[in-house]
Amino acid sequence: MNDKALLETAEFYGKKLLYWRYKFTGLLAEINKRKLYEKKNCSSIFEFAAKFGGLSEEQVRRALNLDKKFEELPNLHAAFVNGEVSINKLLRVAAIATLENEEKLVSAAKILSNRAIETFVRDEKENGLFKPQIEVKSVHVHISEEVTKRLAELQEKGIDINELISAALNKREEEIAEEKAQPVGPAKSRPVPAKTKKLNKKEFGTKCSIPTCKKPSEVIHHTQTFALSQRHDPNYLAPLCKEHHEIAHAINLKVREKRFACR
């Protein structure tokens, strides 16, 4: 067996191992309630889980706590008992789970990675994914000494520096809007052109464009699916961090599934 085949085989069995561990873990709460572990000569569910599943006491406690947490949440409880979602992901969504959002949380947990789930849960806590902040929080603005000195000199001359700054900001927004209004033809290739990237950076800077996110942007996301539009329209481009890009594609997938289901 060559190196590639060996690694692929190990990966295959590793994934299968995780799958069956999820299934095993989901059964523990019911086995504990019925005290079925005694039929296997085990003194507790912890001994049973260690003997037959290789689980630690902490892992078992987390499973029992989740089962109790999800008693009134049928979708999440089913996902847990049936081993459809890992314990780590379920622990992350448990803090915000309600009857109203549990179906959405199950769908997200099945699709997203652990890191993306963390971001998804944080966004849900912040009034919902992709919703702008209603409350305007104070921000510390870093202004160089040179600019501060020049503004102070203008203010001493009786010039309204707030009006001056506001006019500069308005001009910037007008320039961006004008550039974005230019007609966009069919794309020659999949990568976003350098000129469009420059405009995108001019508008959004270097951070993820989700209001609640402070991570650096890593990907320019086509909010209007590129496969359908075949255009790099700056009006439908948003810089996202890796996790929000994953979430955005997961949402697009669910939307497409619903559209095809309605046909």
Residue ranges of alpha helices (H) inside the chain are 3-34, 45-53, 57-69, 74-81, 87-94, 102-111, 114-125, 145-156, 161-180, 194-204, 226-229, 242-261
Q: What does pLDDT average to over the chain?
A: 86
Q: Evaluate whether 136 touches 128 at the Cβ level (below 8 Å).
A: no
Interval 202-224 mean pLDDT:
89
Please check whether residue 45 is in contact with residue 31, taking contact to mean a CB–CB distance below 8 angstroms. yes
pLDDT for the residue numbered 196: 93
Tens digit of each residue's pLDDT (9 = 90 or more) over 88-106: 899 889 988 999 989 989 9
Question: So what's the pLDDT on residue 128?
Answer: 55
pLDDT band at residue 224 under the 50/70/90 scheme:
confident
Backbone angles phi, psi at 138, to 5 degrees: -70, 140
- pLDDT recorded at residue 79: 93
Tell whether the model's pLDDT for residue 44 goes beyond 80.
Answer: yes
Angle of CA points 32, 67, 114, to nearest 5°: 125
